[in-house]
């Protein structure tokens, strides 16, 4: 065994190079796509809300009179807007506190991955405002 290891002693610098530089990529290859998946999921949620593609269980609301239906839908929109505003402000606070911390496997600040939260909160607020305005218009809720 020793003779075999001595025969390949010339390859030690190549091995050390790959261990130092390429080995780190194999770890990063798992963490970064996982963090980017969060971006895809949240931006997908925005697109679905914008196109009104979320599954809704609205049998109760559909059975209500038009005026009460609009009131319930508006109350629902206010609750969602409250949550999204809370998400917006708390995510900005989170980025201020720990956004400069680098992820373990790459020299990338966590704030770049956390940025999706305030961005999506604003986008979802815009989509919610658009949807609420459309549903509150005279032709928005059917009798």
- Look at the chain and report how many structural domains it folds into: 1
Separation of first and last alpha carbons in the chain: 86
The reported pLDDT for the residue numbered 3 is 54
Cβ-based neighbours of 40, under 8 Å, separated by 6 or more: none
Share of the chain above pLDDT 90, in %: 27
The model's pTM is 0.70
> What confidence score (pLDDT) does residue 88 get?
96
Residue 141 resides in a domain: no
- The dihedral over CA atoms of 135, 136, 141, 143, expressed in degrees to the nearest 10, equals 170
Domain containing 86 equals: 2-136
In the predicted structure, residue 22 carries a pLDDT above the cut 70: no
Instruction: Give the tens place of pLDDT for each residue, 40-81.
Output: 999 888 888 888 777 777 788 888 898 888 888 899 999 999
């Amino acid at each position: 065994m020793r003779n075999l290891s001595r025969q390949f002693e010339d390859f030690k610098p190549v091995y050390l190079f790959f261990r130092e530089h390429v080995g780190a990529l194999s770890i990063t290859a798992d963490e970064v796509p996982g963090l980017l998946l969060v971006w895809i999921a949240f931006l997908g949620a925005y697109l679905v809300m914008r196109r009104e593609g979320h599954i809704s269980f609205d049998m109760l609301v559909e059975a209500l009179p038009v005026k009460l239906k609009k009131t319930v839908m508006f109350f629902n929109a206010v609750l969602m807007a409250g949550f999204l505003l809370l998400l917006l402000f708390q995510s900005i606070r989170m980025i201020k506190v720990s956004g400069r911390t680098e992820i373990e496997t790459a020299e990338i600040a966590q704030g770049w991955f956390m940025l999706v939260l305030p961005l999506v909160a604003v986008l979802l607020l815009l989509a919610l405002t658009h949807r609420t305005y459309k549903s509150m218009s005279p032709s928005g809720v059917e009798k």
